[in-house]
Amino acid sequence: RRSSDLQPLLQGGPGRPIRVLHASFGDFLCDPKRCEDPKWHIITPNHHLELASYCLRVMEEGLKFNICGIETSYCGNTEIEGIRERVDEAITPVVMYACQYWADHLESASELKRDSRLVDTVKNFITRQLLYWIEVFSLRNQMSAIPVILKKATDWSKVRILLTAESDD
């Protein structure tokens, strides 16, 4: 299909996310009884699992020690000249989305059976990049988001343990 054929249903463009203009279209795509064509049908938990994987990959590639190259840790972020520009340059919208929503996508995919690669990826993130991730929220002055996100990730890991135990029986 040409993209112009979908303009009444979708909105977006180069560098902008695609948005569904009518909720009923999204509902249609996610309902296997209504959308029977497999190339259009969206299996929601699988979709979220893929998005969680992509978010973790973006963070693995985008997060690093001292992401903004701050010369000293002896002053607060607001005391650093040009910090907003540094933050905007170092923490792209894609990296920020990944930091904010990786656990939401895990949570939305929690009904799926254990994916050992994803479990390993989450463990790797927690052991190797958690402090870099926290720094992003500090630099964006959004520290209050951290407990909520970590709670979702913790709940997801508990569901993983339960699903694994059930499949072993």
* pLDDT tens-place values along the chain, 169 residues long: 455 676 777 887 777 777 888 888 888 888 888 888 888 888 888 888 999 999 999 999 999 999 999 988 888 888 888 899 999 999 999 999 999 999 999 988 877 666 678 888 999 999 999 999 999 999 999 999 999 999 999 988 876 655 555 555 5
Tokens 């569901």 belong to 159
Angle at 13 between CA 57 and CA 19, to 5 degrees: 75
pLDDT at residue 88, rounded to an integer: 95
pLDDT at residue 110, rounded to an integer: 73
Q: Nearest to residue 49, comparing CAs of 104, 5, 9, 95?
A: 104
pLDDT at residue 103, rounded to an integer: 95
Q: Nearest to residue 71, comparing CAs of 86, 61, 56, 59?
A: 86
| Residues in CB range of 138: below 8 A, 6 or more apart | 77
Distance CA 63, CA 101 (A): 15
pLDDT at residue 17, rounded to an integer: 73
Tokens 């998005």 belong to 51
